[in-house]
Amino acid sequence: MRIGHGYDVHRLVSGRKLILGGVEIPFEKGLLGHSDADVLLHVVMDALLGAAGLGDIGKHFPDSDEEYKDISSMALLSKVADMLLEKTYIVENIDATIVAQKPKMALYIDDMRKNISKVLNIELSQVNIKATTEEGLGFTGDGEGISAHAVCLITSVRDIASQDIAGSTGCGGCCGIF
């Protein structure tokens, strides 16, 4: 099993849509970024890529590349899912926290979870999203931006297979054959 962590922050600005977890949230401001600036999906991708030892989203989807200008982060998450599949990793779970003074997120969290679980082809119960404020403190508390954190656990299918084989032989892998 491998653990990954992601952290990101984006400034709130006028004239942009607010997209979090692939959900458009009605609000007078949106997040500034090269892509759709979905800070929640960015941290999920960074956590997954980090756990797999594959770097971060800046490495795979650089903001200097016009191909990714205004791209949906859901499309980028799909590419990350393909990378994990290629390396034989499966997602065990994701736990994420959105930090924003406004808007309130409760009405949108279930749709965010559904979007992430669908793209990653995992059960809804494997995705947890929370939201909190910073009680008016700091840049998120002042309404200047939104940040997010995510942790994830992934497992290699190869590791699962070798554990199953070792367990069925009774050897537990201690003999060095597996």
Annotated binding residue 147: no
135 is in an annotated binding site: yes
The annotation status of 26 as a binding-site residue, yes or no, is: no
Is 139 labelled as part of a ligand binding site? Answer: yes
Residue 134 annotated as binding?
yes
**42 marked as binding residue:** yes
Planar angle of CA 99, 103, 107, nearest 5 degrees? 95
Residue 150 is assigned to a ligand binding site: no
Classify 155 as helix, strand or coil: strand
Tell whether residue 64 is among the known ligand binding residues: yes
Ligand-binding annotation for 95, yes or no, is no
Contacts for 10 with CB less than 8 Å, ≥ 6 apart: 31, 32, 33, 37, 39, 145, 146, 147
Confirm whether residue 87 is marked as ligand binding.
no
DSSP state of 107: T
Does the annotation flag 8 for ligand binding? yes
Q: Is 1 annotated as a binding residue?
A: no
Is 17 annotated as belonging to a binding site?
A: no
Give the integer Cα–Cα distance in Å for 116 and 20. 11
Whether residue 168 is annotated as binding a ligand: the answer is: no
Annotated binding site: 8-10, 34-35, 42, 56-58, 61-65, 100-106, 132-135, 139
Show binding-site residues for a divalent metal cation. Answer: 8, 10, 42
